[in-house]
Each structure stands twice: as structure tokens, then as C-alpha cells.
Structure 1
Amino acid sequence: MNEKTNTVNASKITFTELMLPSHSNFSGKIHGGYLLQLMDQIAFASASKYSGLYCVTASVDTVDFLNPVEIGELLTLKASVNYVGNSSMVVGIRVISENIKTGKVKHCNSSYFTMVAKDEEGNNAKVPTLILYNLEEVRRFYDCVIRINQKKKNKILEDKFDHTSEKSIENLSNFNVQLDIK
């Protein structure tokens, strides 16, 4: 069997960009949508570099904006493939900003993008088996397994949830909502 393999290191990408006024929102901070665009680009680059194939975004796990990014700061995104399935890869992304004047570095967010490799016809394509070389790579791989399993459990719970049941209607009183169904 001549199965293709690749390493986490083969997927590593670092991207740094100066944050300009044109990237800001109405409050003078860098727009979250712009950060998401950069994150999607680096996820594509990492997954494509790893797989050697064109990749598309299948899902984005939680993106928590931990600290605002200011105009004039250097924004650095670091990405690597943390997990592979048959045609999918989970790319971990860490975003930090650095104040050029003070040297202060802030962790802005971390996120996980699930990317899917495509062949020339647009069909899902098999990706190389991931070789893990150290315990940090093993930890990141298992963290992805845990997140994937949690998403599956949540989907099962959602599929079983009946919003029309009497109990569900009664539970609405626990929320800041008023029921006015006609």
C-alpha cells in the first residue's frame, strides 16, 4: 500500500499584516469581518499546502474575539493542520496583535476551520494521513476529536428536540422572551 502521508510542519503558515484605517469599523477597531476573511484565507493556505489540493471551507468552529485589534498594530495569524479525516482537515488558527510602539502582544482569538479537499471535478478528495511527531501535536489532534464528537452529540440532541412540545413551550418562561402565538 502506497498511502500518502504528510506532517503538521508541512501545513504551517504564518501571515503578518499591518492593520490600516481602511480595515476598521465605526468604533475605530479592526472589523471582525476583516479578521474572519484573513482567517479563512490562512485556513485555505494551510489546508491546500498540506493536501496539495484546492480546499473549501466546510465549517468554522467558535470564534471568540478576546481582545480588540487597533489600527497601526501588526496582526499575525498562525495556522496548521491539527486533524485529518478522509477528505477533511481541521486547521487551527491563532491570531495575535502587536503594538509596534510598545511591543505589547495580545492574543486576539483562536479558531478552528474545517476545510475539505476537492479534486479537479469538484468532488471530495482523499487527503494524506497525518504524521504526529510530538505530544503537542497529539494533544491538538485529540482536542479536535473531542470537538468533533461534541458536535455530533449536539446534533443528536438537536434532532431529538421538539420545539412544539408542551415542555418546550413551558421552558420559554426561563428566557427573556414573550410568547404570542396566534
Structure 2
Amino acid sequence: MKLKMSFLAEPSDANYRGNVHGGKVMKWIDEVGYALSVQYAGKYCVTKFVDDIEFLEPIHIGDLVLLDAKITKVGKTSIRIHVNVSSENLIDKIKKQNCACDIVFVAIDEDGKKSKI
């Protein structure tokens, strides 16, 4: 199962050099992972683990940001998702690979306990 999200990087996402904050990128990764995990599990899911995010290239204000999320493993209560982040300067037509990581979500019940998927 896969999910794609795209949007434009806004000035409020960036630092004084015009580069998107790493924390903002991590938030986007968490959001696409959450959406895919809940879509698959049909239950509320929470982030358990994020594996090795290496920022390769900056994302700039006005770039089209593309997040591609794909489920790579499903356990009894958890879902591992690989997220790829890339961007494109729409004027110059320059595409960049920005970062990628794996993120694990756990399904939980109304009491906050792990729940079978």
C-alpha cells in the first residue's frame, strides 16, 4: 500500500536562508506515515520509531515537495513505512532527492494500549 502527498514549501516553513527547517520535514514525514498507517490499520496509530534521517539536499521556499510513503512490513500491532522526500524547483525544472527514512507506527486502542491490526 502506498500514499503520496505533495504541496509547495512556504515561507513559514523555512529559516532565514530560505531553506526548509529539518524539523518541518520530519513533521511531514510523520504526517504521511500516520495517514498511511491509519488508512491501512483502520485504527488510530502512533509513532514508535524513526530510523536514520539523512538530509541530502535542502528544500527551498516555492519548491514542490513530494512525499512518497510505502508500507514495507506489517506486524501484529505495528507497521513499518518507508518515506522518500524529494522536491522540485518548478521554474528551473530541477528535481532533488532530499531525504528518506523508515518509520514505525503502532496501532492503539481507546485506552492507549497496543492493538492488533
Please indicate the TM-score interval, normalised by the length of the shorter structure: over 0.9
Instruction: Calculate the aligned-residue CA RMSD, in Å.
Output: 0.9
Could you tell me which runs of 5 or more consecutive residues in structure 1 were left unpaired when the two chains were aligned.
1-8, 128-182
Deviation at 1:43, TM superposition (A): 0.6
Higher relative contact order, structure no. (Cα contacts within 8 Å, ≥ 6 residues apart): 2
State the alpha-carbon separation in 1 of the partners of residues 16 and 65 from structure 2: 19
Give deviations 1:21-75, integer Å, cap 9, x for gaps.
1111132211111111111011100111111110000010000001110111000
Say how many residue pairs are matched.
117
Matched, 1:62 2:44: no
Letter in 1 for 2:77: S
Q: Which residue of 1 aligns with 2:61?
A: 71
Cα distance in 2 for residues equivalent to 1:83 and 1:55: 15
Runs of 4+ with deviation above 2 angstroms: none
SS at match of 2:20: coil
TM-score, structure 1 as length reference: 0.62
Letter of the structure 1 residue corresponding to residue 46 of structure 2: V
Match of 1:20 among 10, 15, 21: 10
Q: Does 2:23 correspond to 1:33?
A: yes
Map 1:33-112; keep pairs closer than 5 Å.
33-112=23-102
Q: Distance in 1 between the 2:61 and 2:41 partners? A: 35
| Counterpart position of 2:111 | 121
What SS class does the counterpart of residue 25 from structure 1 fall into? coil
CA–CA separation in structure 2 for the residues paired with 1:120 and 1:21? 38
Between the aligned residues of both structures, percent identity stands at 35
CA distance in 2, matches of 1:38, 1:87: 23
Q: Which has the larger radius of gyration?
A: 1
| Higher helix content, 1 or 2 | 1
Deviates more, 1:107-116 or 1:23-32: 23-32
Query: 2:24 is matched by which residue type in structure 1?
Result: Y
For 2:32, the aligned partner's letter is I
Once the two structures are superposed, residues 137-171 of structure 1 have per-residue CA deviations (whole angstroms, 9 ceiling, x without a partner) of: xxxxxxxxxxxxxxxxxxxxxxxxxxxxxxxxxxx
Give the residue type in structure 1 aligned to 2:97: H
> What are the superposed Cα offsets for residues 67-112 of structure 1, whole Å, 9 maximum, x if unpaired?
1101110001011211111101111100010111022111101111
TM-score scaled by length of structure 2:
0.95
More strand by share: 2
